[in-house]
Each structure stands twice: as C-alpha cells, then as structure tokens.
Structure 1
Amino acid sequence: MVELGTLASPVALAEGGEDLYIQQDKFPHQFAANVPLAQAKAMAATQRPIKSAALGEAAGAPAWKSIPSWSIYGTADLNIPPAAMAFMSERAKSKKTVVVNGASHVVMASHPHEVSALIDAAAAE
C-alpha cells in the first residue's frame, strides 16, 4: 500500500474534485525502486495523477469473470501487496502468472522483456 506521507497535497480541479500525486522525491522508492534513478526521477516528474474520486468509485462488472487473464507482478511492489496480486491472479484464473523477484510497481519499466513475453504468449492464444 502507498505509505502514509508519500502522497503530495491534493490538487484542486476547476470542475471539482482533486488530483492525487506521489511526492516526486518519494516516487523512486515507492513506485520504481528497481529502475535507474534518472529514469525513476523522470517518471516522477511526468506521473499521471489519479482523481481522488476514483478511489471511492464502485466498480462495474469484473472483466476477469468473462475475459481470459494473464498476470505479471513484482515481489517488491509497495503499492499493491504481492499477496494481493497473487490472490487476484488466482481468482481471475490467470492462464499464466509471472512473478518477478524484486520488481517494483513499474514491472513494465524494470522488466520489459518479461512483460512483452507474457503479452506475446497471450496474443498467441
């Protein structure tokens, strides 16, 4: 889970609501601990916000109940606990789950070959 004190002050939106960001100086550790620091800092500076309302919105019908799923996650993700990712992968009946030892939340940046191999395998089915 996102550590307390990691979020920057919310940014008020003109149309109402707020955008949430990770503090740039904390982003490398929180999201991208296993990518080069320069890359993590660039990611921090260009991060896309999440609207605070999105964190409380009800979800629609889960796609994983009707669409085949594949899963990849890292064991060092500080945002979604690996145990939660394992549970979600199993619940979705993931056709293939790849667990990348030591990968952070941005496994797609730190391990692009593993991610692209999984996408290729999914596309081949």
Structure 2
Amino acid sequence: GGNEFRIAEDTFHHQFCADLDAGEAALMAATQRPVTEQALTDGLTVSEPGWRTKPSWFVHGDRDLNIPAKALRFMAERAGSRGTREIAGASHAVGASQPDAVAAVVLDAVGHVQG
C-alpha cells in the first residue's frame, strides 16, 4: 500500500541507464518495479545498520543521475568500504552496463572474506 514512485518511461533511459542501448533501456523502463514512499522515508527497523558492523565493498558509476557520485563516495567512506570502485561513465544501472567490473568487486570481496 501507499504511494509508489517510478521513473517516467520517456526519461528512464537518460535518468537511470544512459550507458545502455535504447532497446535494453526501454525494456528496463517497461518492467521497472516502483519504490514505495515508505521505503524512502521510514527509519530503520533494526537498532544498527549492517554497514556499521559488516565488511563492505562498493561499486558505483560516476554518471549516476539518481544518487550523486559525491553522495555515493560519502556512503562508501562512512561504511568503511574495504574496496571502492568508481566506474567512469557508468550510470545507476552499473550492474547491467558494467557486469564484469561489478563481478570483479564481488569476487574481491569474497576473496577477502574467505581468506
């Protein structure tokens, strides 16, 4: 229930995934899941966020138009990221546009946690 928000389909490509081709962007726009207002405004339901106590790694694009790169850098630093990779030219959809770079960060994290 409650209010839900979506990125308008006519601006989705530019706003969310400018580094993907138009066909993939159109599919993503048509199938996007909305975010609830409650998810964006409610406080935590736990006493402490996981990033305060769990090891973290961070990967993001420097052309993210949903969350400014400056804010992403701050979040990575605040979380004590053990590895931060900022990908030049990547959008908010960095997992779709740069899967190899994202996978490399995940594998780096697994290697550090396991060994």
Same fold per superposition (TM over 0.5): yes
Instruction: Please give the alpha-carbon distance, in whole angstroms, between the structure 2 residues aligned to 1:25 and 1:33.
Output: 12
TM-score by length of 2: 0.92
Instruction: Please give the alpha-carbon distance, in whole angstroms, between the structure 2 residues aligned to 1:20 and 1:106.
Output: 17
1:13 aligned partner: none
2:37 alignment partner, one of 38, 41, 52: 52
Matches within 5 A, 1:1-125: 16-59=1-44, 60=46, 61-125=48-112
TM-score by length of 1: 0.85
Which stretches of structure 1, 4 residues or more, deviate above 4 A after TM superposition? Answer: none
- CA offsets 1:20-45 (integer angstroms, 9 cap, x no match): 11111110000000011100110000
Q: Which structure 1 segments of 5+ residues have no match?
A: 1-15
- CA offsets 1:81-112 (integer angstroms, 9 cap, x no match): 00011011111111100010011000001100
The root-mean-square deviation of aligned C-alpha atoms, in Å, is: 0.9
Instruction: Please give the alpha-carbon distance, in whole angstroms, between the structure 1 residues aligned to 2:88 and 2:99.
Output: 14
Using the aligned pairs only, state the percent identity: 45
Q: Which structure 2 segments of 5+ residues have no match?
A: none
Which has the larger share of helix?
Answer: 2
Count of aligned residue pairs for this structure pair: 110
